[in-house]
Chain A
Amino acid sequence: MSNEKIQEELAKYQASVEKAIARFPEREHLPEQRLYTPLDIKDTDYADEISFPGVYPYTRGVQPTMYRGRFWTMRMYAGFSTAEESNKRYRYLIESGATGLSCAFDLPTQIGYDSTDPISEGEVGKVGVAIDSLADMEILFDQIDLGKVSTSMTINAPASVLLAMYIAVAEKQGVSADQLKGTIQNDILKEYAARGTYIFPPRPSMRLITNIFEYCSKNVPKWNTISISGYHIREAGSTAAQEIAFTIADGIAYVEAAIKAGLNVDDFAGRLSFFWNAHNNVLEEVAKFRASRRVWAKVMKERFKAEKPKSMMLRVHTQTAGSMLTAQQPNNNIVRVALQTAAAVMGGTQSLHTNSRDEALALPTEESVMIALRTQQIVAYESGLADVIDPLAGSYYVEAMTNKIEAEAWDYIKKIDEMGGAVAAIEKGYIQKEIQDSAYKWQMDVESGARTIVGVNKFQIEEEAPKNLLRVDASVGEKQKAKVEAMKAKRDNDAVKAALADLKTACQDENENLMPHILAAVKTYATLGEICGVMREVFGEYEAHVNL
């Protein structure tokens, strides 16, 4: 059918349904067209914009084989309480078929405080495992072969310290740094914009990040040095397009910083990875994944003149949307997570964490974690969604949506460029404000009923309080404190002092790579709080920009 003919037929169709549809106003006012046709993608060139998997601009996926080779990495984020408890959970997950570890740290660890610090009171071991020193890290990975497992660590401001601890543990296991596989999140910009676990101001933070890029490119070449994260931006309330736009803008800032520090783009860009949210709207999410690969490929090729294909590939870890889990009728969350999993898989993710049904209430129990992992396995082995590469390509709607999200992302990136880049836009509070506005709109839509959340504002039932929630033992804090004190009494405190003094001197010299100094300090069993304390002294602390 020619485009003219389609246009004609479409007009007839629209006229014929107009009246019928007007009877359902709440369905009539959805943001998307009710029907997509070849006209919506008539300007999309297959070779330039869609192409083949493993081929620029990677819209259809970064590897040529995708899941016809092997499935994505089923990586379950876990960690709570003490290193001993988390170690048990990791070994359980590995036995259950998880193919990668993902460490959650408690908040004092994420913000660089020891468990003994008064500010840590009440927080130790709550949202993740407490790591105070190398001693805890040794327990965390006890009997886990770091030469075999790939480990993702959700750690940002003190990422350098935790990575150094990981390298030191591996060394003790007899595994050399160049064999280590894994990821540190290390994405400070989204901490300022959305997640809130920052320590230092942007400048020294960016320096730490480029120090890690440089150090790893030479010593830990298989390590993913950053996971540039849209996940938390989305959790904070952004839209799908904002999620990838702000994250790619952050990515641009990291690449620029590294180039400014004298690195060659193709030496580090291949180790950059991304982290997306898998949200409720399945098709929009698939389009988001596809659009993000296209935007990043163009950024790397056109703006940064990258030459290696790997530098242009947006490899992504995904987590299902925690903020979409409901405390009401928590078993419904199993279905939500299944749909989100489908979206991430059809979007072509490289690895995936699925949330557990009870996470709007507490940390997940082992049973809930098992269901979440099984969800991935069912999608992989039974659903057929992973049998064909990029199965939704060519869908009028999904291709049009991919184009639309891409265009919106470019608009934001342009705006942020004009402000002087992501760091400046964050310092101005622009990105935060955009996210907050979207979050507020979402909430108001839910409250007005314009948006339905099953079990929350429609189809509610009387419920009994859920039972069998995981509780973190309240004595964890005290136990961990005692452990730190005992460790401090045992270590060579002169060596610690010397290492910290050396680190301080290194911090003061902007041209010095801090990684070797941090590694040296870690090996003396200097605590995370002591190491970050030295850096706080030299670098100062970030003050948040809040503009409600």
Chain B
Amino acid sequence: MEKKIRVLVAKPGLDGHDRGAKVVARALRDAGFEVIYTGLRQTPEQIAEAALQEDVNVVAMSILSGAHPHLFPKVVDLVRNKNGMKDVLIIGGGVIPEGDIPALKEAGIAEVFTPGTPTSDVVDFIKANVKA
């Protein structure tokens, strides 16, 4: 058997700052994961559908514009309820104020990684929490 953890790295919303997303994508690759990078300006619908077609274990999103309170929960809803993928680990990162994190977790974002987080923390978190 040749199992690999598959991760969708996605940029929902309109911001073009993908330095973080790309660095994380490479770090996940170097950790031995299969990474599907969606590129910029993905709608929650596109992200959920890509997650379904790719049957990923993890959806990792990055937003720097402040649109996370709106977009993160929407992706969670679509992946869980429309796709019926109950086990997918959904995580987020970017410029996200501490105060917003409880609501995001409440909405189903498993963890939120803020600026300065080492990529190894993301890798470790996925390894510890992925259901695969």
Q: Which of A43-51, A356-364, A420-428 contacts B (4 or more CB under 8 A)?
A: A356-364
Identify B16's interface contact among A121, A197, A363, CB under 8 A: A197
The answer to whether A127 touches B97 (Cβ under 8 A) is: no
Does A119 interact with chain B (Cβ within 8 Å)?
yes
Does B14 interact with chain A (Cβ within 8 Å)?
yes
Chain A residues near B29: list those with CB within 8 A: 548
How many angstroms between the C-alpha atoms of A277 and B12 in the bound complex?
27
Does B37 interact with chain A (Cβ within 8 Å)?
yes
How many angstroms between the C-alpha atoms of A125 and B39 in the bound complex?
23
Q: Is the interface of B mostly helix, strand, loop or mixed?
A: loop
* B15 smallest CB distance to A (angstroms): 6
The answer to whether B115 touches A327 (Cβ under 8 A) is: yes
How many angstroms between the C-alpha atoms of A363 and B66 in the bound complex?
9
Does B23 interact with chain A (Cβ within 8 Å)?
yes
* B132 smallest CB distance to A (angstroms): 23
The answer to whether A465 touches B98 (Cβ under 8 A) is: yes
Contact flag A443-B27 (CB < 8 Å), given A111-B14, A237-B19: yes
Residues of chain B from 15 to 44 with CB closer than 8 A to chain A in the complex: 15-19, 22-23, 25-27, 29, 37, 39-41, 43
Residues of chain A from 517 to 548 with CB closer than 8 A to chain B in the complex: 544, 546, 548
The answer to whether A195 touches B16 (Cβ under 8 A) is: yes
Contact flag A544-B97 (CB < 8 Å), given A191-B16, A235-B19: no
Residues of chain A from 257 to 307 with CB closer than 8 A to chain B in the complex: none
Does A379 interact with chain B (Cβ within 8 Å)?
no
Q: Count the A-B residue pairs with Cβ separation under 8 angstroms: how many?
A: 103
Chain B residues near A465: list those with CB within 8 A: 98-99
Does A446 interact with chain B (Cβ within 8 Å)?
yes
How many angstroms between the C-alpha atoms of A111 and B67 in the bound complex?
15
Does A61 interact with chain B (Cβ within 8 Å)?
no
Q: Which of A94-102, A368-376, A466-474 contacts B (4 or more CB under 8 A)?
A: A466-474
Contact flag A474-B14 (CB < 8 Å), given A439-B23, A469-B99: no
Does A402 interact with chain B (Cβ within 8 Å)?
no
How many angstroms between the C-alpha atoms of A472 and B65 in the bound complex?
11
Does B107 interact with chain A (Cβ within 8 Å)?
no
Does B92 interact with chain A (Cβ within 8 Å)?
no
Q: Closest residue to B11 on the A side, CB-wise?
A: A196
Q: Is the interface of A mostly helix, strand, loop or mixed?
A: loop
Identify A236's interface contact among B19, B37, B71, B118, CB under 8 A: B19
Flag A436-471 by CB within 8 Å of B: 1 or 0 each.
Answer: 100110010011000001001100000001100101
Chain B residues near A202: list those with CB within 8 A: none
Identify B69's interface contact among A122, A360, A446, CB under 8 A: A122
Residues of chain B from 73 to 122 with CB closer than 8 A to chain A in the complex: 95, 97-99, 114-116, 118-120
How many angstroms between the C-alpha atoms of A412 and B120 in the bound complex?
32
How many angstroms between the C-alpha atoms of A252 and B71 in the bound complex?
39
Q: Closest residue to A456 on the B side, CB-wise?
A: B116
Chain B residues near A457: list those with CB within 8 A: 118
Contact flag A544-B13 (CB < 8 Å), given A440-B26, A466-B98: no
Contact flag A440-B23 (CB < 8 Å), given A107-B13, A548-B37: yes
Does A326 interact with chain B (Cβ within 8 Å)?
yes
The answer to whether B116 touches A544 (Cβ under 8 A) is: no
Chain B residues near A326: list those with CB within 8 A: 115-116
Chain A residues near B115: list those with CB within 8 A: 326-327, 360
Identify B23's interface contact among A196, A443, A471, CB under 8 A: A443
Residues of chain A from 222 to 236 with CB closer than 8 A to chain B in the complex: 235-236
Chain B residues near A548: list those with CB within 8 A: 22, 25-26, 29, 37
Does B70 interact with chain A (Cβ within 8 Å)?
yes
Chain B residues near A363: list those with CB within 8 A: 66
The answer to whether A126 touches B40 (Cβ under 8 A) is: no
Using A111-B14, A363-B66 as known contacts, list a sample of 4 further A-B pairs with CB atoms less than 8 Å apart, ordered by residue number in A.
A440-B22, A472-B66, A548-B22, A548-B25
Q: Would you list 7 pairs from A and B whose C-beta atoms are within 8 A, ordered by A residue?
A: A123-B15, A198-B16, A323-B19, A362-B95, A440-B22, A443-B119, A447-B119
Interface residues of A (CB under 8 A from B): 107-108, 110-111, 113, 119-123, 126-127, 191, 195-198, 235-237, 323, 326-328, 360-363, 436, 439-440, 443, 446-447, 453, 456-457, 465-466, 469, 471-472, 474, 544, 546, 548
